[in-house]
Amino acid sequence: MENHTEASWQMEYDFAVEVARKAGEEIRKAGESEIKIMTKSSTVDLVTKTDERVEKIIIGSLKQKFGEDAHSFIGEESVAKGEPCILTDKPTWIIDPVDGTTNFVHGFPFVAVSIAFAVNKQLEFGVVYSCLEDKMYKASKGKGAFCNDEPIQVSDVKDIHRSIIISEHGTDRSPDKVNKIFSTMQKILCIPVHGIRSPGSAAVNMCLVASGSADAYYHMGIHCWDMAGGAAIVTEAGGVIMDISGGTFDLMSRRLIVASSRVIAERIAKAITEFPVGRDDTEA
Should residue 100 be labelled a site residue for ligand IPD when binding is judged by CB under 6 A?
yes
Should residue 238 be labelled a site residue for ligand IPD when binding is judged by CB under 6 A?
no
Among 52, 96, 236, 281, the residue binding ligand IPD under the rule CB under 6 A is 96
Which amino acid would we find at residue 3?
A: N
Q: CB-wise, 81 or 162, nearer to ligand IPD?
A: 81
Should residue 201 be labelled a site residue for ligand IPD when binding is judged by CB under 6 A?
yes
Among 99, 236, 280, 281, the residue binding ligand IPD under the rule CB under 6 A is 99
Burial letters 89-108, b for 16+ CB under 10 A, else e = eebbbbbbbbbbbbbbbeee
Distance, CA of 34 to CA of 200 (rounded, Å): 21
Q: CB-wise, 16 or 98, nearer to ligand IPD?
A: 98
Should residue 126 be labelled a site residue for ligand IPD when binding is judged by CB under 6 A?
no
Q: CB-wise, 94 or 119, nearer to ligand IPD?
A: 94
Should residue 281 be labelled a site residue for ligand IPD when binding is judged by CB under 6 A?
no
**Peptide bond between residue 97 and the one before it cis (omega within 30 degrees of 0):** no
3-class secondary-structure state, position 256: strand
Q: CB-wise, 15 or 225, nearer to ligand IPD?
A: 225
Answer yes or no: are the C-beta atoms of 110 and 198 closer than 8 Å: no
Number of residues interacting with ligand IPD: please give it, by CB under 6 A.
Answer: 13
Say if strands 195-197 and 216-220 run parallel, antiparallel, or are unpaired.
unpaired
Task: Write down the least CB distance from residue 56 to ligand IPD, Å.
Answer: 16
Task: Write down the least CB distance from residue 226 to ligand IPD, Å.
Answer: 4
Q: Cβ neighbours of residue 224 under 8 Å, at least 6 residues apart?
A: 74, 85, 87, 94, 251, 252, 254, 280
Helix (H), strand (E) at residue 138: strand 135-140
Task: Write down the least CB distance from residue 14 to ligand IPD, Å.
Answer: 24
Q: CB-wise, 99 or 215, nearer to ligand IPD?
A: 99
Task: Write down the least CB distance from residue 135 to ligand IPD, Å.
Answer: 16
In this structure, is the dihedral angle defined by the CA atoms of residues 205, 112, 61 and 223, taken in order, positive or negative?
Answer: positive
Q: Cβ neighbours of residue 185 under 8 Å, at least 6 residues apart?
A: 167, 196
Should residue 155 be labelled a site residue for ligand IPD when binding is judged by CB under 6 A?
no
- 35, with CB counted inside 10 A (0-12, 13-18, 19+), is middle
Among 101, 130, 184, 235, the residue binding ligand IPD under the rule CB under 6 A is 101
Should residue 168 be labelled a site residue for ligand IPD when binding is judged by CB under 6 A?
yes
Should residue 200 be labelled a site residue for ligand IPD when binding is judged by CB under 6 A?
yes
| Residues at the site binding ligand IPD, with contacts judged by CB under 6 A | 76, 96, 98-101, 168, 170, 200-202, 222, 226
